[in-house]
Amino acid sequence: MAAPSIAVTRVAPRASHGLWGDAFRRLLRNRPAMVGALLIVAFLLVAVFAPVLAPYPPNESFPPPAGETSQKLGPWPPSAAHPFGQDKQGRDELSRVMYGATVSLLAGLSSVIVGVTLGGLIGAVAGAAGGKVDSLLMRCVDVLLAMPGILLAIGIVTFLGQGLWQITIAVAITNAPIFARLLRGGLLSVRESDYVLASRSIGASRTRLLTRHMLPNSLTPIIVAATLALATAIIDIAGLGFLGLGPPDPRTPEWGTMLTDSREFLRSAAYLIFFPGLAIVITAVGFNLLGDGLRESLDPRLKR
């Protein structure tokens, strides 16, 4: 009986570039995520360079397009000089939508940063401390989660007053409990892991355990959630603006406020609704696509 010959082929090991490097490579290969990234880059460019890119200042009124004889200020339909039309004060809609990107970016980003910081702190303290502190903090989180999103935000706005930074804070507080739960859950699950135990056994301090081992290993869900939260934050801020809780200064080009200001022209000037609406949708699609892509590339087990 001849011994069966086994052909052994050496498979060249795929070079690993570390957790983040691998994730980044996977992300680059994820086509929907790249479409999302492209949309976000476009949005960022417009938001940052609005003063350069926009054809006109956002608050200058312009005369009606040539051939219009009516004496009213606006709105005016799209023309060569004003491709998105002009609003009821004769202002250039394209420029206002572009400046609106700046407002949305600033408000959305700050609201998510505040939300992540606030929620992250609560979650980190709860997850690290455990015991009574943990249950008390999680009860507080339950309370915030029991109030349906926009209603809690409305309550906070009645308290803080109307305005852009007020709705930004309101949306941040509404989002914070989600981050708190995510981080706490992550911390709890890594707390019992072998590498934390190993590190603890060689006498690592609590702070070192938390900052060097536990936090970095619990951050991925937060990054994904923060990206997706940017989409909802921008939508919610526009929604509160739509309800009339946004910037009281009518000159601020906030997308939601622009929509609510143009509602009376739904029949006569739907373009005033279409373009700001489209801007919100495109931005939200971008962040949702990138968020989903990040989730898949940071945790490849999720991909089916």
Partner 1 sequence: MTKYIVRRLLGTVPVLIGVSIVVFVFIRLLPGDPATAILGQHATAQRIAEMREFLGLDKPIWEQYLIYVTTLLGGDFGRSIINGQPILTEFLTRMPATIELTAGAMVFAAGLGIPLGRFAAKRAQKWQDGSITVLSLVGISIPVFVLGLTLQYIFAVQLGWLPATGRIDARTALELQSNFVLIDVWLQPDWTFEEKLSAFLDGISHLILPAIALGSIPLAIITRITRASVIDVSNDDYVRTARAKGLSERRIDGRHVMRNAWLPVVTVLGLQVGGLLAGAVITETVFAWNGVGRWIVEAIGNRDYFIVQSTILIFALIFLVVNLAVDVMYAFINPRIRYA
Residue 272 CB, shortest distance to partner 1, in Å, is 10
Residues 77-106 that bind partner 1 (CB under 8 A): none
Convert residues 207-246 into a mask of x (bound to partner 1 by CB under 8 A) and - (unbound). Answer: ------------------------x---x--xx--xxxx-
CB 62 within 8 A of CB 82: yes
Tell whether residue 139 is a contact of partner 1 (CB under 8 A). yes
Contact 33, 27 (CB under 8 A): yes
CA distance 176 to 225: 11
Q: Residues 28-57: x/- map of binding to partner 1 (CB under 8 A)? A: ------------------------------
For partner 1, which is the closer residue by CB, 68 or 142?
A: 142
The least CB distance from residue 105 to partner 1, in Å, is 16
CA terminus-to-terminus distance, the chain: 45
- Residue (of 291, 261, 290, 288) closest to 277 by Cα position: 261
Distance of closest approach, residue 143 Cβ to partner 1, in angstroms: 3
**Which one of 148, 216, 248, 300 is in contact with partner 1 (CB under 8 A)?**
148
- Quote the CA–CA distance of 297 and 293 in Å, as a whole number: 6
* Strand-pair partners of 13: none
- Rounded to whole angstroms, the Cα distance separating 229 from 149 reads 13
Residue closer to partner 1 (CB basis): 218 or 257: 257
For partner 1, the binding residue among 172, 288, 296, 298 (CB under 8 A) is: 288
Residue from the set 3, 6, 52, 146 that interacts with partner 1 by CB under 8 A: 146
Is 133 a binder of partner 1 (CB under 8 A)? no
Options 151, 195, 206, 248; binder of partner 1; rule CB under 8 A? 151
Structure token pair of residue 57: 């200042």
Residue 97's φ and ψ, nearest 5 degrees, are -65, -40
Instruction: Candidates 60, 68, 142, 249: give the one binding partner 1 (CB under 8 A).
Output: 142
Tokens for 115, please give them. Answer: 């939300």
Among 103, 289, 290, 294, binds partner 1 (CB under 8 A): 289
User: Per-residue x/- mask for partner 1, residues 257 to 286, rule CB under 8 A?
Assistant: --xx--x--xx--x--xx--x--xx--xx-
Minimum distance of partner 1 from residue 240's CB (angstroms): 9
Nearest to 117 by CA among 105, 128, 109, 107: 109
**Of positions 19, 45, 48, 143, contacts partner 1 by CB under 8 A:** 143
| Residues at the site binding partner 1, with contacts judged by CB under 8 A | 139-140, 142-144, 146-152, 154-159, 161, 231, 235, 238-239, 242-245, 256, 259-260, 263, 266-267, 270, 273-274, 277, 280-281, 284-285, 288-289, 292, 304
